[in-house]
């Protein structure tokens, strides 16, 4: 006779114990992953749970083990392919370690990020992975750390947070691509970013609160100074945080008398918008304009011409952040670790010599 309870009721530990022919305490030890039982009993309980489609009560388990089995992740823009791929790396590692990911999108807004952290802490997540909207506004992350919740930073570090951090070699990447453009003869090179400033104008790299972008701009300007190019701060354009804003900024640049001969886009969403606009204006890439984009998005290799990119180890950024956090949750590692992953330039047909 089938000893399964009616499907309309929740399957309990007692139900599993009854079917396996063991005590409730024994079944709880097997299902909870604690204590010692024989292999025969473990197999019997596991088989019974599988047949009955037993689902553990996560709240009860968290009260017993002190763990919720969840990791909270807060990123700036989930529509950005960069963050989508990074989250894939996080979830793959988390799943292998039996953690579920709770993802919240901050929209690159610090207020929304604070609310997200409060929500995740209320849900008693075991750890946090955050890509801070502004690295100089992280008191809410300090509060999370003080509460005892392990934290790992993704793509963006913080000088004030002594936590595990995974970033790319952004400054080196920007220096490298800027040198290549200068070697091709370009002198009017624009750097375009979604980051904004209070007056919507760029003055110094310190204006940029997002560390990864700040490091790139610092690298860009440093190489320009080395090459004797002056006034290059005027070629850094901020505020391209929507397609509409990007369209306005790029159209204005490309229709001006002092038009850039090359544009470095700080992400693939901006890069795609630049690609669209150059065609609308009747310009040619690379004859009239050279284009380089950070992030090797799928579209960059199938356009005509295909676009030169700075390929970032995006999946590995997420996977490494999750690995460090899981190790921290398992009691491994004492001091905070900073991991810097290498980028590479993939040269395609969107850049050419400027005579």
Return the ∠ at Cα 207 (arms to 145 and 313), rounded to 5°: 60
DSSP SS3 for 247: helix
What does DSSP assign to residue 306? P
Q: What string of DSSP letters covers 41-96?
A: HHHHHHHHHHHHT----HHHHHHHHS--SEEEEEES-TTSHHHHHHHHHHHHHHHH
Q: Of 335, 313, 318, 330, nearest to 153 (Cα)?
A: 318
Residues facing 294 on adjacent strands: 310
- Strand order across the beta sheet in which 100-105 lies: 100-105, 70-75, 127-130, 151-154, 164-168, 338-341
Question: Is 186:261 a contact under the CB 8 Å cutoff?
Answer: yes
Query: H or E segment at 100?
Result: strand 100-105
Which positions of the chain have pLDDT values less than 70?
Answer: 1-9, 34, 57-66
Q: What pLDDT is stored for residue 7 in this prediction?
A: 43
Please state, in angstroms and as integers, the Cα–Cα distance from residue 138 to each residue in 125, 127, 142, following that order: 19, 16, 7
Token pair in block for residue 338? 């900073």
Half-sphere exposure of 333 (CA within 13 A, CB side): 16
Say if residue 122 is exposed, middle or buried (CB neighbours under 10 Å; 0-12, 13-18, 19+): exposed
**pTM for the full model?**
0.81
Question: Is 117:345 a contact under the CB 8 Å cutoff?
Answer: no
Q: What is the pLDDT of residues 207-265, one digit of tens each?
A: 888 889 999 999 999 999 999 999 999 999 999 999 999 999 999 999 999 999 999 99
Q: Virtual CA dihedral for 327, 164, 99, 295, nearest 10 degrees?
A: -120
Beta strands in 106-207 (DSSP E): 127-130, 151-154, 164-168, 189-192
Question: Is 14:31 a contact under the CB 8 Å cutoff?
Answer: no
Looking only at the bridges linking them, the beta strands covering 236-237 and 290-294 are: unpaired
Q: What pLDDT is stored for residue 334 in this prediction?
A: 75
Token pair in block for residue 273? 């918008």
């Amino acid at each position: 006779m089938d000893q399964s309870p009616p499907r309309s009721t929740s399957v309990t530990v007692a139900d599993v114990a009854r079917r396996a022919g063991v005590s409730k305490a024994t079944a709880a030890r097997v299902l909870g992953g604690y204590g010692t039982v024989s292999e025969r009993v473990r197999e019997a309980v596991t088989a019974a749970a599988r047949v009955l489609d037993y689902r553990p009560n996560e709240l009860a388990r968290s009260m017993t083990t002190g763990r919720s089995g969840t990791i909270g992740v807060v990123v700036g823009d989930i529509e950005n392919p960069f963050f989508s791929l990074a989250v894939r790396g996080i979830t793959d590692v988390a799943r292998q370690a039996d953690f579920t990911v709770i993802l919240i999108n901050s929209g690159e807004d610090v207020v929304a990020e604070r609310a997200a952290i409060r929500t995740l802490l209320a849900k008693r997540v075991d750890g946090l992975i955050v890509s801070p909207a502004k690295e100089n506004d992280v008191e809410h992350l300090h509060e999370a750390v003080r509460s005892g919740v392990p934290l790992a930073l993704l793509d963006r570090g913080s000088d004030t947070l002594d936590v595990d951090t995974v970033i790319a070699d952004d400054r080196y990447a920007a220096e490298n691509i800027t040198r290549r453009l200068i070697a091709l003869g370009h002198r009017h090179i624009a750097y375009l970013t979604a980051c904004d400033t209070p007056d919507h104008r760029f003055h110094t790299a310190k204006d940029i609160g997002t560390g990864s972008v700040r490091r790139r701009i610092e690298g860009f300007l440093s190489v320009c100074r080395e090459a004797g190019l002056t006034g290059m701060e005027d070629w850094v354009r901020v505020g391209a945080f929507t397609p509409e804003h990007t369209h306005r900024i790029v159209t204005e640049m490309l229709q001006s008398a002092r038009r850039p001969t090359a544009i470095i886009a700080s992400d693939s969403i901006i890069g795609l918008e630049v690609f669209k606009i150059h065609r609308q204006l009747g310009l040619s890439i690379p004859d009239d304009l050279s284009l380089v984009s950070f992030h090797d998005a799928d579209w960059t290799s199938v356009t005509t011409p295909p676009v030169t990119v700075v390929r970032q180890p995006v999946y590995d950024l997420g996977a490494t952040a999750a690995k460090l956090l899981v190790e921290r949750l398992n009691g491994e590692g004492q001091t905070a670790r900073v991991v810097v992953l290498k980028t590479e330039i993939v040269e395609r047909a969107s850049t050419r010599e400027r005579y």
